[in-house]
Chains A and B, each alone.
Chain A
Amino acid sequence: MSASAETAEQPQAVRAHRRGAGIASYGGFIPAIVLFGLFFLVPLAIIVCYSFWETIDYSVVHHWTLDNYRYFFSVSAYVTTMWSTLWVAIVATAIAIGLAFPFAYWLSRYVPQWLRLPLLVLVIVPFWTSYLLRVYSWLTILGEKGVLNRFLQWAGITHHPLGVFLYDRPAVILVLIYLYFPFGALTLYSSIERFDWNQLRAAMDLGASPLKAIFRILVPQIMPGIVTAVIFVFIPILGEYLTPQIVGGTGGVMIGNLIVNFFQAAEYTRGAAVSLLIALFIVGLLALFRKSLSTADAYGA
């Protein structure tokens, strides 16, 4: 008796609570709103405003203009840097994911369960050391007195140390692949791990070659994981600044370095404009990916 009365009254009670509590029920969001506002919205608003203001004599003047954007696109070196940044990011992402996929595949299909965790930890270990250190360590590998040159001289392939390994775009791409491979590997592993390998056997049984089976059966089902991996790798690379700074020389300059240069030269408004361009580009990219992510979900993968 009392039980049925309770269930009948409950919805009303809930409704009353919702009506009465009003704004108070959102109280729990206040810390998030404050944090989000202080550390994200306010800085973003400042950057947006800066990008439409002017810098005169090293100080920002509140004078609305599109000059910063116009300036960026008028200097061909900047535009070239933008394209090469995009190019470096695409190539590094493609290779990093291209290496991470077979690794994750091998790890989840052929490595016994007890050995997987140690191997995953090995992948993560570099994160425990400083980012700066990891980039610098490549100088001791690729530099003129580096491991690579010493080996080549020892092997008699060359008599003088070669400078071609460092301070150009290939070096930047190589180091970026090294830095971002773990992101790709971990993300892909977590989505491949759940795959039912019998499906690949079934595909081969039905006449698919091993590669065809992987691309027709495995890849479509882990598409959300692949997209996530690409996001995790591609977007941070777009904003990279230290790696090109340390191993890139003049040939490896990326758009992140441009922004730093602008700010160091106290051209805050121009720097803000370039920052916003990258941000807009990334937002556009995410919107694109979001669509492919949701269609993948529709298949129940």
Chain B
Amino acid sequence: MMVRSPRLRGNDTVATTVATPTDTEPARTTAGIELRGVVKRYGSANALRGLDLEIRDGEFFCLLGPSGCGKTTTLNLIGGFVAPTEGEIWIQGRRIDTLPPHKRPVNTVFQSYALFPHMNVRENVRFGLKMDRVPRVESTERVEEALALVGLEDYGDRSPAQLSGGQQQRVAVARALVKRPAVLLLDEPLGALDLKLRQRLQIELAQIHRDVGTTFVYVTHDQEEAMSMADRIAVMNDGRVEQLGSPEEVYRRPVSRFVADFIGDSNFFAADVAGPTATLADGTCVPCEGGRSGAATLMVRPETIRLGGGEGSIAGRVVHTSFLGSYVRVAVETGAAEAPVMVALREATLVPAPGETVSLSWSAADGIVLEAGS
């Protein structure tokens, strides 16, 4: 079904889709996309507060965050639908923030797909090439290639209304990729689909990304989606990038409580840290990573907590256990934290009963020290 098509590789043909920029400033960088000090204000509200971001050529980059964090604004800034209040945007060494949307080497897959209902699938995909005045023979070939890339080669004559949500989403991807953009922007493209289909399309999108080698910038509020596809994730909060890194880095080494809370499940303890030891609210001393001292927030992932252990463990009473298929979640009430501590257990045989008293422990490397404060 998937046809590997090297012809759709984006980067070599960008020149044909980019108009000559009007300003003559020399290129400063050859990064895929570079945002320099980008600020966007709506009236007095700050949507983005000074964004510096470098997206590498050919990478699958995710902008992840809750609604209102500025991720969609960032996408719209790159796409040209919103003008920055301050700052510059560069794509492959070319400044683009002064260009209108139709002159940028960027194409977008919209959340609502925005397919043209008065055209059939093939005409939808051809539209962008028509606008570029690509000769008929070549455009026909490229349209068929793009449809094959998304597995819709037999659907060219259908009207968008005759397609399922997943198929419409694939048409939107084909329509954008047929132009061989330097950058493909995806605005929560799977948001409207059900979970199973979403998971399948995540794999397909990652595959398409490998096939075409174009830089993908993907906006989502779904951490699982970001983790499953992205090379790197920018976790955004309140108009700022809170953390930038690979999915593993962001999960294992969150830099703030916000990131730790937004990505995956976590337990937080108010703690007083001195070296590799943290003193919790109830006076127990637990191991933690070293390097910082003073008041801090200690973060421990549920799956790194073990039941049992002597020195450096906290005591608690099991209040609830839930069987979640691949693991069992145990909620333990302790004196060390207000909320019950969540523990994820892989081995079902070790599950304690509610009411049982247990002790919890973890290794020093799993006790992540974050800045203090709620």
Contacts and interface: CB of A to CB of B under 8 A. Distances in A.
A65 interface: no
A208 B131 contact: yes
A205 B113 CA distance: 12
A205 B102 contact: yes
A299 interface: yes
Contact of B102 (A198, A207, A299): A207
A205 B80 CA distance: 8
Contacts of B79: 205
B161 A199 contact: no
A301 B127 contact: no
A94 interface: no
Contacts of B161: 300
Given A209-B102, A221-B117, A300-B159, A203 B110 contact: no
A81 B301 CA distance: 88
A76 B115 CA distance: 55
Interface string A204-237: 1111111011001100110000000000000000
A9 interface: no
Contacts of B102: 204-210, 213
Contact of B118 (A208, A212, A213, A221): A221
Given A217-B116, A299-B117, A300-B159, A206 B175 contact: yes
B101 A201 contact: yes
A206 B110 CA distance: 12
B128 interface: yes
Contacts, number: 72
Interface string A63-90: 0000000000000000000000000000
Contacts of B81: 201, 205
B122 interface: no
A206 B179 contact: yes
A208 B128 CA distance: 8
A299 B102 CA distance: 27
Nearest to B172: A202
B131 A196 contact: no
A221 B80 CA distance: 25
A110 to B, nearest CB: 15
Contacts of A207: 17, 102, 128, 131-132, 179
B101 A196 contact: no
A301 B116 CA distance: 10
A206 B112 contact: no
Contacts of A299: 117-118, 159
A198 B117 contact: no
Given A203-B116, A206-B127, 9 more contacts: A196-B114, A198-B112, A198-B114, A202-B110, A202-B114, A205-B106, A206-B176, A220-B118, A300-B161
Interface of A: 196, 198-199, 201-210, 212-213, 216-217, 220-221, 299-301
Closest 3 pairs (CB-CB, A-B): A206-B128, A207-B131, A202-B114
